[in-house]
Amino acid sequence: MATVDLAPRATDLSRRRPHRERKPGEKPFGPGRIIAFAILLLLAISWLVPFLWAVDTAFKSESDAASADQSWIPAGGFTIDAFTKILAAGNVPTWGFNSLVTSVLITAITVAISALAAYAFSRLDFAGRKWLYPVIIAAIIIPPQVLIIPLFYEMLALNLVDTYAGLILPQIVAPAMVFILKKFFDQLPIELEEAARVDGASRFRVFWSIVLPLSRPILASVAIFVFIGAWNNFLWPFLIINDTTLMTLPVGLQTVISAYGVQYAQVMAQAVLAALPLIVVFLIFQRQIIKGVATSGFGGA
C-alpha cells in the first residue's frame, strides 16, 4: 500500500488568504471606518479605565483607598503594602500552582473531547445524531448555576470532594466549544478527507493529519478561552474544595480578603494578582485568539 503524505495538503490550505484589494476611488479612511474606529476606541477606554483604577488602588495605602477624596495619585504616595499583606497572609504559590495544574488539565481534556465530538457531528452519520446535536445546543443556554447542586451531590457520592478530580471533571463539558468547532469543521473541504480515505487512511488518521492541522487557529482560540474560564472560575472551586492546600488562586485570595474584612487596596491587589497570569497569556497568544475568532466564522469573517 502506497504511503500517503497528508501534511503538504493541509499546509497548502492553511495559507493566509490575500488581502482584499481596495476598489478604485475607495478612500482608505472613509466615514464608516472613522466611526467604527471611534466606537472601538470608546469601548477600549471604557474597559481600560476601570482596570487602571484597580491597579492604581492596589498600590495605595488603605487610608488613601478608603478616602472620600479619590485621586489617581494618592496623598501618601504609592506603596506595595497591599500586595505584601496578601502574599504574607496566604499560600499564594500553592494556590497559583493548583490553578495552573487544574486549568491546563481542564483545557487539554476539554479541547480533546470537544474536537472529537464536533468532528463526529460534522462528518459521521450515526444513530441519534439528529436529536443528540440539538441537545448539545440546548445545553448551551442552561445556566451553570442550575447544575451546581446535582453536581455537588454527584461528586459527594463518588467521594471526589476535596480532590483534583472533583474540581476538574464537572468543568470539562463545554457544549459551546463543540458548537464552535463543528461550525469550523463544516467549512473544511471534505474532498481532502475523501481522497485520503481512498488512499487508505483511517478515519482517525484523517482527523489527526488533515483536520487538526487545518484547525490550529480555532483550536488555539478554544484552548485559550477554556483556560481563561477555568482560571477565573470561582463558584465551583469554592464549593468543592475545603482544604486550603487544594484551593485555586481566586478562592484562596478571597479567603484572605474575607479574613481581614473589607480592605479596598487588598481587594484590588487580589484582583490584579488573579488577573496578571491571564493578561500575560493574552499578550502572548493574542494573534491566535484574533485569528481563531476570524476563522471560526464569527464577526462576519
- Tens of pLDDT along the chain (301 residues) come to 444 454 444 444 444 444 555 555 555 667 778 888 899 899 988 888 888 888 888 888 877 777 767 778 777 778 888 788 777 777 888 888 999 999 999 999 999 999 999 999 988 888 888 888 889 888 888 888 888 999 999 999 999 999 999 999 999 989 999 999 998 898 888 888 888 888 888 888 888 888 988 888 889 888 988 998 899 898 999 999 988 889 998 888 777 665 555 677 877 888 888 888 888 877 887 777 676 666 555 444 3
156: its cell numbers:
459527594
Supply the CATH classification number for the domain 82-300. Answer: 1.10.3720.10
Residues 6+ apart with CB under 8 A from 168: 102, 105, 106, 109
Give the pLDDT of residue 12.
Answer: 46
Element (H, E) at 46: helix 31-58
Distance CA 237, CA 230 (A): 10
Q: Are 64 and 74 in contact (CB under 8 A)?
A: yes
Amino acid at 27: K
Q: Three-class SS of residue 262?
A: coil
Distance CA 137, CA 180 (A): 11
Distance CA 119, CA 227 (A): 21
Domain range summary for the chain, segments of one domain joined by +: 82-300
Give the pLDDT of residue 126.
Answer: 82
Q: Among candidates 152, 186, 179, 283, which has minimal Cα distance to 228?
A: 283
Give the pLDDT of residue 53.
Answer: 86
Helix axes 216-232, 264-295, angle to 10 degrees: 160
Give the pLDDT of residue 22.
Answer: 55
Distance CA 154, CA 152 (A): 5
Give the pLDDT of residue 119.
Answer: 92
